[in-house]
Each structure stands twice: as structure tokens, then as C-alpha cells.
Structure 1
């Protein structure tokens, strides 16, 4: 696991700085204790990272579950009752893994997965713009278009124009310049610049800037635009931050409904993230999805038992890990230990980090996910790839992650149906033979009820006094609906003086009276 420690250690530092404000922000957006987000981040890094088969995926609390958590805490009568649903949801995920439900993730088209990554990249950039300029009353980590304060992504950006904080903006620009310089120039100049990553330098510069300017009326960065980690006074107050599930409500139907909801949504988000991170992995390794569900389920059971939020594999942290050079699961695990150590030993130092510097780091992450060149590449691949890709991107930007993916998947299915309609058969018209038009129709390898319209249209358009040669030798699956169409057409053909010759691997027959009989009463096995 520590074979690539020289790559994984710097990457884990970057992931730590990305994960820290997200853990706190998602907890705030979920209406849960701030410490619950940190617990989920620590468990996601150490426990899930250790059990997972993913080399570069990073788990933690997910913004996609924030709305579900917020609603459930109120509906279930408190956070301790909600934790019971988290534990049960984890157990259900383990059952999913045992039942090998991880294969579901492979049924999402590549265009939708690429659209998901691009949409998340755009959302990361848009959501970080207010932080970059030192203004954002809305919780960090809210990745939906409509926010908890009633505003939306773009109204928040427009409002930022009149509320720019000079100090936060200056340090953000400095941090962004450091990141670009490090990435484009210094990282190629020597090993020291590869070991010490640009994001770490940017964060250190941000802390120094805050300390030097905190008494300056113009450049001082306000406390509400700094990282906000809970600071325990002693060991007893630290332990008091943990919450524990109230298992006396385990028999409540609402608890079980919430548990199944968490399990389904968390599993889907995880499987989609696994698919996406595997595509981003430079080494093209494949994550065992069933093992991932087992790992996520175990993590959620432990997180729920000690007061943490639900956990999923998260694309923002995973992509930051990949782009920072992470090579193995060590980076995810180490980032979890960094979270644990930091909240115990240096919470006051962490609370000096400006959110605008972290926004600059996420700008780079978002840009690498949503490069303009990708749009041209998808366009060049044709409309069958470009349309589902574009719909997914727009859906994620203007709604939220799951709705955007659902819209992209729906469009992808429509594209498949259109192509299935078009590719059901091949029609070849030859010259007249014996006074009749000779027409040869070759059916595709699989012909289902989706193809009924196309085949029926072709048969109805055949001219009278023609000769149809129907070739099914390449067909391996013929739906009963298609056979019924052929049966009906046989009757019409007699009235229109159309002769039919049916050719299959079983032989040939002229003007068959019964296609089902010809296929020996096995309509689905040609």
C-alpha cells in the first residue's frame, strides 16, 4: 500500500484541504452537528479507504445526500433517531454487496459519466466564485442549483459583485497564481516542487496573510470566511461532541424508509463515482463494485454508531486525489488520519485558513474536470454521444447531481431506442424479376418489440405484385411481437399479390402459413 508513498503523501495533503471545508459545509447544509461531517470524513478515509478495492477513490459525506438528511432529521424527531437509519442503511448496503448489486453502475453510458464529471467540474467552479471573492452566506458544500437560503447558483454569483472582500480576493488571486505556477512550471523544475505541493504552499500563504492583515480594516478576512472547526476545551468536551443512535425507535416504519432511501441513493452515488474515477485513473484500474458496496456499508454502520453523516465515494475529493498524483489507497487513508489529527491537535490553526484560498484550489480541480476541449471531443463523436453528455451537464448545473444523471440516462435510452428502430433490418431492392419487384429484407441479430414500428412501416410500403425474400439467418433473437407482425402481413400479402420466401438456418419456405410453426413454436429462439 505504501509503494507509491512519494505520490500519495502530497496527494493526501491536497485531499485533506479539499475535504475539510466540505465536511463542515455538508454538515451545516444537512442541519447536523458540524462535528458529524468530520466524523464521516475520517471514517470515509480510514475505514472505507482500507476496505475498499478502489485505488484512487476517496469517500466522505456527500452533498447529494444533504437534502435527504436535512428532511429526515426533522421527520424522525432528532439527530439520534436519524443515526439509527444511517446504521440500518449501512447494513442494507452490505446486503447489496453480498447480493452482487454493484453491477448496476456499469449500465450507465460513458457519455453520461463524462457529462457527470464535466457538470460537477462546472458546479465546483460556480459554487466557489462567492468564496473566492470573500462572500457567501450559504453553507459550503451545497452543490444543488437551488440553495437552502432560497437563492440559486447564479443569483449568489451576481450578489457577490456587490459584496467583494478585498483581503479574501487578494489572497485568493495569490493562491491561484501559486497553483498555476506550481502546476505549469515549478513541478517540472525539481523533486522538491513535486514533494511539496502547490496547494499546501497556497494554504500556508493564506494563513500568513490572515495573521498579518487581521488588524487591517481594509484587508482583514472576516471570521465567517475562514474554516470553522469545532474547538474542544479538553478531552471530555471532545468526547461530548460524539452522538449515538437511539435504537429504541428501530421499529418505526419511517426509520426503515429513510434507511432504504439512504442505502439506495448512497449506493448509486458511489457506483457512479467509481465508474467516473476509474475513467480518470491514468493506470485504468477497475474497482470491484461489490466490494465497494461492502466497504461503504461498513463505513456507514461505524459512522452512524458514533454520530457521523452518511458516507459515499465522492467525485470532488477523488478527482482532487487523481489530479494531485495519488496512486494508491494510501492517499485516501492518510487524508483520513490528517483529518483526525488536525481536529484533535491543531483546530485553531485550521481556523485561520481562508475559504478563498480553498476556493482557488477547487477552481483548478473544477477546470481539470470540465476542460473546454472535452466539449469539442464529445461533439466530434456525433450526436449520439454529444446530446446525452450535454443534457447531463445542464441537468447537474441547473438541478442537482442525481436529477442531472437521471435526465442524461433517459436521453441515452431514447437514443438507443432510435438507433434500435433504425437498425432493425437491412432492405435491398433489386430489379424486376419475372414481372415482380424483388426485395430482400435481412433482419438484425436481435429484433425486439422496439423494432415493430420500423419493420411494420417497411412491410406496409412494399408495392403490390412484388417478391419479398425475408432472411433471418443472422438473427439470434426474434421477439414474439415481430412474429405476430409477420403472421398478419402474410394475410395482407395474399391480397396484394406479394410472394414471400423465408430463409433461415433451418431451411427455406415459400409463402409460409405459420411463422410460429416454422420456428417450431419457439418464437424467441430463431
Structure 2
């Protein structure tokens, strides 16, 4: 089944697929719930704004998406930008206008087909992004599994906003202050998840059809309540410190007390447009990268439409801003949970959004008994699947030109944040490709005094140092033939260097001949002149 965009209808999906999508949707919902709340906390925004963004990401973006498996919602990578923007614009209501404008910009980017630029990111960087995020997920969930819940769920930067710690120091403090109750809940949850997955892998329908994530949550709640009755010292309590915390709304509560609405008077201030452009750029970048990653993880190897995804994200952010939600992007953690949970179509994404809506409307008081320790177990499994040790070995075998940008992307994500890691890996990857290509552009073949300098491919300025060194190593009495037949393009600097050496060769007693060097320069100039004549530029 191909992803065909907003005109997909539910009728095209077969009921047999729901057997996979329903458990996956439940898994994504359980993962997304604390993440939506955590991102809102990290952003300095109302808790409800994270839930609104999650609901819209599931129902609106999920139905319009260019991907069958991508899951959207509030993104941790935007938390710092959101927090600073709320402060600079003066209020959350003013910030919502920037979210709407960012959505309009994304919609425009999709309509002009800017999504094609996602293909420019090296494959090694996409792999590094997935592995780096997997490692970060595991590192960030270890404290929650040990009962230290000081940091927000969904904050994946190395330096933590919540408590001033970093990833490493937070793990150390978690080990020192470990809670026996949290450890037991997380260990039992992990054992159940591993056992359930292996049983499902053997083809047992009972284990394939019943979502392990739901059982883990029920088990976590049950164990914690047993602690309350029989082991009070291990009891995690039912408070904000160790539990999921959804805002509970009372019957008849005024809508204006629940939702925040945009303050359009901010449109008179230029700062709102700068914020909107920043959000649109960063959110689009994260979305396109995640789309590439989700296609890589898709067992069916479907190709998503990046342009359609930008359109869906734009509509989603416009809707989110109007209803008081945070900015939305496609996010790796929830997408990975969807794929590893067995999701096959966008039904799982939409179901997770529907479940978030039901949770907000009806189940707040129930879900507020769910320990973060059991949800940490779910995310630890997702993180491990993204960062299996075998992936490092496989990519290393592909060669250093793949492994170097891959590992630098991983290190950058783990020790800084997602965008810095991707930028580092991309820059290094491009430089590495340019360097390696420049090393194989020509060969020097010597037979006594006869020397052949064979230009094997296009010659750019990066080849100048090695070519200059080769010319410098020529000896008096050499007969040199420079063959440019196999190069389609020879940079102007290279041509100048080769021709300038003719005078040097005469003074050093070197017989020096150039073949099809000037021809390539003339052809390049002719192509440029023809292009100028056609375009008028």
C-alpha cells in the first residue's frame, strides 16, 4: 500500500491490518502520554498544551500524513526554542500566534515541494540519528527505572533543564538514591516485555494480539498498590513525583479555563514572525529527518511523501496553535514505538491520538496511578531496538566513509542534542566524501623516465594539493603525458596549474604534454554559454 496523502480513506484499509495497528496504537499512546506532558513542562507551557499537540498530531497530522507509520506530537527538540519564545513574546497566548504562522510557512513549503531536500542528508547520518536517539532514550530512562523522576520525560538534551544535571550525573544520582519499589517494577516490566515479544515471535496468536505495553502498565499499577498494602517503604505513592500526571477536569468546567487561545494582537510586533520562521525551519527539519528514518525502519519499505508530510505538519500546527497546543513535528521515539509495536498503517497513529483524547476527557484520575518506572521499561526496549550493538559492527564494515559521520552523529546527539548531532554528522560526512573523492581523481604511473598522469574523474580544486605534489616530484629527463580524456570536468584552477607547469618543465628538462585538458575547459565554457543563452541569465 502506498502513502498517497490526504485523500486516503479508511475504506482502503483492511480489517486484518487492525490486528497489528490496535496494539501498536495502544503502545504509542502509553509512550506518548508522559512525553506530551514532559515536553510541555520542559517548554514552560501549560500541561494541557502538550496533550493538545499530541491529540492533533495523532488525529489531524496522522490522517493527512505522507507516511503510514510516522507519529507526530510535541517535540523535545523544540523545548528550548518554545521556552525562550514564550518569554520574548510576553505570553503563551502570543506564542500560539507564532505556532499558527509557522504552520502556514510549512504549508507553503509543502506546496512548493521543498520536501525533496530531505534526500540531501547522508544515509550514515540518518542511521546515526536513529542509534543516537536510541542510546539517549536508554540513558534518560535509567533514572526513571531507578525511581529518580526529577527530570522531565521527553527531555533528551545532554544538559537537563529540569534540575540542572546532565545525563551522566543524573544516572549517578539515580544509582545513589535508587528506590527498591521502582527497580522491582521496572525489572518485572522488562522481563514481561522480553518474554512477550519472544512468545509473539514464535507465532502464538494470544501474545501477538494482546499488547504487552498495556499489560505492563496494569502490572505496574498493581505492584505499586501491593506495596502500599504490604511494603509501605517501597510504595511510590500517587503523587506528581513518580506518577503520570494528567490534568483532571471537573464536569461543567468552563472551556476557557481548559484551552488557551491565540492573542492576535501580537501580529503588530516583528518578533512574532522571527519566532514563527525559526519554529517552521526547525520543525520541518526534524520532521523530514524523521520521515527518512521511519522509511528506513518500515518493514514494508514504503516511500513516504516529504511534501505531503510538510503539508500535513503545516495544517497540524495551524490547528494546534488555534486550540492552544505546542508546535508539532514528526518524532522518532513515538514513530519507533509504533513500528516496533507492529503498526502497519496510519490507523495506529490515529488511534493513539484518539486514546489521548479519551484519556484527557475521561481517564485522568485513572492514569494518574501509572508509575513512570513501568513506562521507562517500555522506552528502554524501544531504545535498545534502535541502538543494537550489531548495528555498530554492520556500519563499521561498510567502511570509514560511512562509519566516521555515523559515529560522530551518535556522539553529537548523546552529548549535545538532536539538531547539533545531525549538523555535526552531516558536515563531517560531506567533508569526508569530498576528501575521499579528491584522493582518487588521478593516478601517476611511472615506467622508468616515462610518466603518465591519468585524470580518472572530474577534477575539482580539492585535488590541487595532491596534483601539485605529483608535479613537484617529477625529475629532470622525465617524459610526462597528462591524459584528461576520462575527466568530464576540469576545474579552472586545475587547468591553470597544469598549463603553468609547462614553463617550469622546460627549465627542468622535462618533456611535458597535455591531452584534452583545454578541450574540457572549452566544453565547460560552451555549456555555460548555452545555458546562459537559454535561460537569459
Q: TM-score range by the shorter chain?
A: over 0.9
**Structure 1 range deviating more: 246-255 or 357-366:** 246-255
SS of 1:362's equivalent in the other structure is helix
State the Cα distance separating 1:235 from its structure 2 match.
Answer: 4.2
Paired position in structure 2 for 1:228: 245
Deviations 1:334-356 (A, max 9, x none): 11111111111111111111100
Give runs of aligned pairs for residues 254-269 of structure 1, distance below 5 A.
254-269=271-286
Q: Number of residues paired by the alignment?
A: 511
Moved over 6 A (4+): none
Please state whether the residue corresponding to 2:96 is helix, strand or coil: helix
Segments of 5+ residues of structure 1 without an aligned counterpart are 432-436, 505-514
Q: Is the 8 A contact 1:274 1:313 kept in 2?
A: yes
Does the 8 A contact of 2:489 with 2:524 survive in 1? no
**Cα distance, 1:241 vs. partner?**
1.6
Distance (Å, rounded) in 1 between the aligned partners of 2:381 and 2:201: 15
Aligned-partner Cα distance in 2 for 1:464–1:411: 41
Aligned match for 1:64, one of 77, 86, 90: 77
Q: What secondary structure is seen at the aligned counterpart in 1 of 2:233?
A: coil
RMSD of aligned Cα (Å): 1.8
Q: TM-score, normalised by structure 2?
A: 0.92
- The question of 1:361 aligning with 2:381 is answered no
Secondary structure in structure 2 of the residue aligned to 1:502: strand
Name which of 476, 491, 504 aligns with 1:464.
Answer: 476
Give the 3 Å change call, closer, same or farther, for CA 517–352 of structure 1 in structure 2.
Answer: closer
**Partners of 1:29 and 1:519 in 2: how far apart?**
57
Shift of the 385–519 alpha-carbon distance from structure 1 to 2, 3 Å rule, reads closer
1:187 CA drift (Å): 4.8
Quick check: 2:444–2:453 contact (8 Å CA) kept in 1? yes
State whether residues 269 and 313 of structure 1, in contact with CA within 8 Å, keep that contact through their aligned partners in structure 2: yes
**Greater displacement, 31-40 / 280-289:** 280-289
2:259 partner SS: coil
Q: Does 1:277 align with 2:294?
A: yes
- Residue matched to 1:288: 305
- Equivalents in 2 of 1:21, 1:237: separation in Å? 25
1:121 alignment partner, SS class: helix
Write the mapping of 1:92-103 to structure 2, written as runs, cut at 5 A. 92-103=105-116
Counterpart selection for 1:473 from 440, 460, 485? 485
Give the counterpart of 1:6 among 19, 34, 45: 19
Question: How far off is 1:277 after superposition?
Answer: 1.1
- Which of 359-368 and 2-11 deviates more? 2-11
Q: Contact between 1:136 and 1:156, CA under 8 Å: does it hold in 2?
A: no
2:321 match: secondary structure: helix
SS in 2 for 1:439: strand
Q: Taking structure 1 as reference, are residues 444 and 290 closer, same or farther at Cα in structure 2, changes over 3 Å only? A: farther
Q: Which residue number in structure 1 is paired with residue 57 of structure 2?
A: 44
Residue 443, structure 1, aligned to residue 460, structure 2:
no
Q: Deviation of residue 517 (structure 1)?
A: 7.4
Match of 1:53 among 63, 66, 85: 66
CA distance in 2 between counterparts of 1:65 and 1:186 reads 37
Shift of 1:392: 1.0
User: 2:406, 2:63 → 1: CA distance?
Assistant: 33
Decide whether aligned partners of structure 1 residues 186 and 516 sit closer, same or farther in structure 2, where only a CA change above 3 A counts.
Answer: closer
Residue matched to 1:395: 412
In 2, Cα distance between the equivalents of 1:425 and 1:489? 17
